[in-house]
Structure 1
Amino acid sequence: MTTRSTAPPRYPQVWTFRPPRTRLALWVGWLLLAVLFLICWRLMNANTLWWFVADAPSQAIDIGQRMLPPRLAYLPELLVPLWDTLNMATLGTLGGVLLAVPVAFLAARNTTPSMRLVRPAALLVIVASRSINSLIWALLLVAIIGPGLLAGILAIALRSVGFVGKLLYEAIEESDPRPVEAIAATGAARAQVVHYGIVPQVLPAFWGISAFRWDINIRESTILGLVGAGGIGMKLQASIDTLAWSQVATLLLVILATVVVSEWLAARIRRALI
C-alpha cells in the first residue's frame, strides 16, 4: 500500500520591485537627506536677512527699469575688450589642449608607461585642474603675475587641462584593442603602435572635445575680467561699480550674442569633424 505525501502545497513567491533590505536602505537614505536638508535650512535662516530678501523683487524691478533702453552707443567701446575675450578663450583653450594631450596618454591604462607611479600622478593633475574653478585660477594668477590678459589665458589653460585630459584619456581607454594588437604583432615600437593604432581612433573625439571646451571657455572668459584678468568682464565690472545700468544691459546683450554664436560655431565644427 502506497502513501501519498502530505506536504503543504507550494505557492508562488510574491514578486516585489525591491527586496526588503533595499527598501530599508532607501528609507534610511531619504531620512538622512531630510535631516541634512533641515540642518542646511536652519543654517541658512541663521545667516539670512529675510527683510532684505523680501525687498529683492522691487530692487530687481528698479534695476531692470534702469537698464532700459540699453545704451547702444556704448557698443564701439566694447569691440576691443570683446576681441581680447575671444583671444583669451582661444589661446587658453589651445594651451590647455597642448598640456592635456600628454597627460591623457599618461593617465590611460593602455598607454601609460607605469600604472603605479605615472598614472596616479597624471590623474592627480587632472583632478587638481578640474577641482579648481577658472575664476579661482584667475584670482591666484592675478595676485602672482598681475592683472591682464596673460592671467586670464593661463587660468583658462589650467582649467582646460583637467576637462580635456579626463575626456581624452577615457576615449583612449575605450579604443578598439584589435588594431593595436595587429600593429604590435608586426614588431612595431610602442610609439608606432600608439601613433598608428590609437591616435586615429581618438582623433575625432579629440577635435570634438577641443571644440566643446572652446565653447565653454568663451563663456568663462567673459567673467574673468571681474577679477582683473582682462576682457569684456572688466567693462562689466566698471559699469556695475558706477551704476551705469544701461551700459550693463548693452554688455549683457553682447555677451549673450557672443555665447550664442560660439555655441553655433562649436556645433558646426563638431559636426564637420566627427
Structure 2
Amino acid sequence: MARPQATPGGAPPHHWCKRSARHELGLFMAWVLALAFLAWAFQLMTQQTIWAFVADAPRQVQDVGARMLPPDWAFTLEILQPMWETLNIATLGTLLGVVLAVPVAFLAARNTTPSRVLVRPLALLVIVGSRSINSLIWALLLVAILGPGVLAGIIAIALRSIGFIGKLLYEAIEEIDARQVEAIEATGASRSQTMAWAIAPQVAPTLFGMTLFRWDINIRESTVLGLVGAGGIGLKLDAALSTLAWPRVTTILLAIFATVIVSEWITAKVRKRLI
C-alpha cells in the first residue's frame, strides 16, 4: 500500500475527517442517551406485562383464527342497515364538518382574518381543540349528552373534521396568489366580493380534495363509533365480540374492508374528475 505523500516542506500529511473528535464524542453520547431513554421507556411500558400471556399469544391467535372461519354469510343481510348508517354518519359528518370548518379557516388565515390579535387566536384554538380530541372521545361525550344513536356519531365526526379541514384550508388560503386579490381589489370590489372572486376560486380545488380525503378517513373512523353507542356497524361488531360470535365478527370485518375499498375507488375517481 502506498504511503501518503508528505506535503511540501516536510510537514506531515493531512487526513480528512468527516467530524472532529469533539463532534464524534458528542454523537456517541447522544446515542448512549437515546438508547438509555428507549430502555427506560420500554421498562416503563412493560412493567405490568404478563410475559406468559405474550408467549401464549401465537397459540391464542391460531385458536381465534380457527373460530372465525368460515364467515357467517347468512349474517350479511343483518349488517346492511348498520353499514348504511355508518356511511351516512361519515358522509353527513363530513359535510357538517366542512360547513363549520370553512368560516373557521377564513378567520384563522392571516390574510383574511378580521383581527390577528383576537379573532385569529380564537379560530386557531377551535382548530387545535378539534384536532386534539379523537372522534371516539367526541362520541363518548355526545352519547352522554344526546343519548346513543346516529346523531351523536354524525356530530362526533363533524367536530373531529373541523380541525383537519380547517388547518389545511387556512394554510392554503395563506398561500394564494396575492396578485389576483390585488387585481380584484383594484376594481373597487368589496371584501366579500374579493373573497368570492379572488380567494375562493384558488382554494376550491384544495377544499374539494381535502373533503374527499377526510370523507375516506371518516368512513374508517365511523365503523368504531358504535362501540360507544354512536350508531353504525360498530354496534353489531360490539355485540358479536361480546357474545364471542367469531364467524359474525369475520363477516363484519369483511364488510368494513369491502366498504373501505369501494370508498378508496370512489375517492380516486372523483378526485381525477374534479381536481
- TM-score, with normalisation over the residues of structure 2? 0.91
Following superposition, the deviation at residue 116 of structure 1 comes to 0.9
Matched letter for residue 187 of structure 2? T
Change (3 A) 1:61 1:129: same
Partner of 1:147: 148
Alignment-derived partner of residue 55 in structure 2: 54
- Kindly provide the CA deviation profile for residues 44-89 of structure 1, in whole angstroms up to 9, marking residues without a partner as x: 2311000011111111100000011001000000110011000000
Residue 122 (1) aligns with residue 157 (2):
no
Match of 1:5 in 2: none
Q: Does 1:131 align with 2:132?
A: yes
**1:5-25 deviation digits (Å, cap 9, x = unpaired):** xxx9999x9876567777666
Structure 1 residues 10 and 265, CA gap change in structure 2 (3 angstroms): farther
> Are residues 1:197 and 2:201 paired?
no
User: Whole-Å Cα distance in 2 between the matches of residues 89 and 146 of structure 1?
Assistant: 19
CA distance in 2 between counterparts of 1:116 and 1:10 reads 65
1:30, CA displacement in angstroms? 3.3
Q: Does 1:100 align with 2:101?
A: yes
Task: Give the SS at the match of 1:111.
Answer: coil
Give 3-state SS (helix, strand or coil) of 1:112's partner.
Answer: coil
CA distance in 2, matches of 1:22, 1:101: 49
Alpha-carbon distance between aligned partners in 1 of 2:253 and 2:23, rounded to the nearest angstrom: 49
Sort the Cα spacing of 1:272 and 1:10 in 2 relative to 1 into closer, same or farther, 3 A.
farther
Closer/same/farther in 2, CA of residues 194 and 47 from structure 1, 3 Å limit: same
CA-CA distance at 1:195 after TM superposition:
1.1
**Matched residue type, 1:32:** L
- Distance (Å, rounded) in 2 between the aligned partners of 1:21 and 1:149: 62
Q: 1:65 is matched with which residue?
A: 66
- Residue of structure 2 equivalent to 1:3: none
**TM-score normalized by structure 1?**
0.91
CA distance in structure 2 between the aligned counterparts of 1:21 and 1:165, rounded to whole angstroms: 46
CA deviation vs aligned residue, 1:154-192 (integer Å, no higher than 9, x gap): 100000000000111111111111100111122211111
Counterparts of 1:102 and 1:21, CA distance in 2:
53
* Pairing of 1:96-245 with structure 2 (within 5 A): 96-245=97-246
CA RMSD of aligned residues (A): 2.1
Alignment length (residue pairs): 267
Aligned-partner residue type, residue 143 of structure 1: A
What residue ranges of structure 1 are gaps of 5+ in the alignment? 1-7
Aligned partner of 1:251: which letter? I
Aligned to 1:270: 271
Post-superposition CA distance 1:103-141 (Å, at most 9, x none): 000111111111111111111110110011101111111
Give 3-state SS (helix, strand or coil) of 2:224's partner. helix
Q: In structure 2, the residue corresponding to 1:55 is in which secondary structure?
A: helix
Cα–Cα, structure 1 residues 131 and 18, in superposed 2: closer, same or farther, change >3 Å? farther
Alpha-carbon distance, 1:33 to partner: 2.4
Give me the whole-angstrom Cα distance separating, in 2, the residues matched to 1:159 and 1:55.
38
Report the secondary structure of 1:46's partner residue. coil
CA distance in 1, matches of 2:198, 2:56: 63
Give % identity.
64
Moved more, 62-71 or 15-24: 15-24
- In the superposition, relative to structure 1, how do residues 22 and 229 fare at CA in structure 2: closer, same or farther (>3 Å)? farther
Q: Does 1:77 align with 2:82?
A: no
- Unaligned 5+ segments in structure 2 are 1-8
Quick one: which amino acid aligns to residue 264 of structure 2?
A: E
Q: Structure 1 residues 222, 20: closer, same or farther in 2, change over 3 A?
A: farther
The farther-off stretch of 213-222 and 137-146 is: 137-146
